[in-house]
Structure 1
Amino acid sequence: MFGKPATPAKVPTDSVIAFRFFDDTPLWKAFILYSMFVFDDLLDPQKLHRSLEALVKRDGWHKLGARLRRNHNGGLEYHVPVEFTKQRPGLTYAHVDYAINAADHPLASKLPKASSQPAIVCDPDEFQDLIRSEGSPTSMREYLNQDIPQLGLYIATFKDKTLVTLYWPHTLMDAMGKKALLNAWTLILQGRDDEVVPPYGGGGDPLAHLGKNPAELHGLSNRRLSVLGLAKYGIRNIGDFFRTHENRMVCIPGSFIASLRAKAIEELVSAGVDQPFLTEGDVLCALWTRVAISHLPNDSQRLVVLNNAYSLRTALEADLLPKGAPYVSNAIGFIHVLLDTQEIFKKPLSHVAFAIRSGIQQLGTRAQVEAFASMWRESSVKLPPLFGSSRMHMITYSNWSKARLYELDFSAATVKPGEGNKKPGFPTYIQNNQFGLVLPNAFPIIGKDNEGNFWLSGYMNKGQWEKIGHQLSGMSYVKNKPSLT
Structure 2
Amino acid sequence: MFGKSPPARVPTDTVIPVHFFDDTPLWRAFILYSMFVFDDLLDPQKLRDSLEALAQRQGWRKLGARIRRNTKGELEYHIPAQFTNERRALAYSHVPHDMDAADHPVASRLPKPCTRPATVGDPDEFRSLFRREGGPTKLDDYLNTDVPQLGLHIVSFNDKTLVCLYWPHTLMDAMGKRALLDAWTLMLEGRPGDIQSSHGAEDVDPHFDPLAGLGKNPTESHKLTGQRMSLFGLAQYGVTIGDLLSAAAGSHDGTEAIQDDPFLSEGDVLCAWWTRLAISHLPRDSHRTVVLNNAYSLRAPLAADLLPTGSVYVSNAIGFLNVLLPACEIFNKPLSHIASSIRHAIKDLGTRAQVEAFAGMWRESQGRLPPFFGDRSMHMITFSNWSKARLFETDFSAAVVTPKDREDRERGRKPGTPSYIQNNQFGLVLPNGFPIIGKDVQGNYWLSGYMNKGHWAKIEEQLAKA
Match of 2:438 among 440, 444, 447: 447
Distance in 2, matches of 1:98 and 1:75, equals 42
Distance in 2, matches of 1:145 and 1:188, equals 31
Match of 2:309 among 306, 323, 330: 323
| Corresponding residue of 1:284 | 270
**AA paired with 1:437?**
L
Distance in 1, matches of 2:340 and 2:47, equals 43
- The answer as to whether partners of 1:64 and 1:149 remain within 8 angstroms in 2 is yes
| Corresponding residue of 2:287 | 301
- 1:133-282 alignment to 2 at 5 Å? 133-203=132-202, 204-234=208-238, 260-264=248-252, 267=254, 271=257, 273=259, 276-282=262-268
SS in 2 for 1:106: coil
Report how far residue 272 of structure 1 moved. 6.0
- The answer as to whether partners of 1:267 and 1:350 remain within 8 angstroms in 2 is no
Distance in 2, matches of 1:261 and 1:97, equals 47
- The answer as to whether partners of 2:67 and 2:77 remain within 8 angstroms in 1 is yes
For the pair 1:24 / 2:12, whether they are aligned, the reply is no
SS in 2 for 1:420: helix
SS in 2 for 1:459: coil
Aligned-residue identity in percent: 65
How well do the aligned residues superpose, as a CA RMSD in angstroms? 1.6
**AA paired with 2:369?**
L
What are the superposed Cα offsets for residues 375-424 of structure 1, whole Å, 9 maximum, x if unpaired? Answer: 00011200000111111110000000000000000001111224712311
| Corresponding residue of 1:245 | none
What are the superposed Cα offsets for residues 194-227 of structure 1, whole Å, 9 maximum, x if unpaired? Answer: 1001100122211000000100011111111123
Distance in 1, matches of 2:348 and 2:260, equals 17
Report how far residue 232 of structure 1 moved. 2.2
Distance in 1, matches of 2:249 and 2:259, equals 15
Distance in 2, matches of 1:274 and 1:433, equals 38
Distance in 1, matches of 2:261 and 2:29, equals 42
Report how far residue 238 of structure 1 moved. 6.0
| 1:117–1:83 Cα change, 3 Å | same
Match of 1:382 among 326, 345, 368: 368
Specify every segment of 5 or more residues in structure 1 that has no aligned partner in the other structure, as ranges. 242-259, 476-485
What are the superposed Cα offsets for residues 124-156 of structure 1, whole Å, 9 maximum, x if unpaired? Answer: 001111112111111101101100000000000
- 1:33-52 alignment to 2 at 5 Å? 33-52=32-51
Q: TM-score, normalised by structure 2?
A: 0.94
Specify every segment of 5 or more residues in structure 2 that has no aligned partner in the other structure, as ranges. 203-207
- The answer as to whether partners of 1:40 and 1:417 remain within 8 angstroms in 2 is no
Report how far residue 15 of structure 1 moved. 0.3
- The 4+ residue runs of structure 1 with deviation greater than 6 A are none
- The answer as to whether partners of 1:187 and 1:195 remain within 8 angstroms in 2 is yes
**AA paired with 1:421?**
D
| 1:102–1:134 Cα change, 3 Å | same
Q: TM-score, normalised by structure 1?
A: 0.90
| Corresponding residue of 1:403 | 389
SS in 2 for 1:182: helix
- The answer as to whether partners of 2:258 and 2:337 remain within 8 angstroms in 1 is no
- The answer as to whether partners of 2:286 and 2:327 remain within 8 angstroms in 1 is yes
**AA paired with 2:217?**
N
Distance in 2, matches of 1:123 and 1:4, equals 31
For the pair 1:460 / 2:464, whether they are aligned, the reply is no
Report how far residue 322 of structure 1 moved. 0.6
What are the superposed Cα offsets for residues 298-329 of structure 1, whole Å, 9 maximum, x if unpaired? Answer: 00000000000000000001010011111000
| Corresponding residue of 2:297 | 311
| Corresponding residue of 1:112 | 111
| Corresponding residue of 1:76 | 75
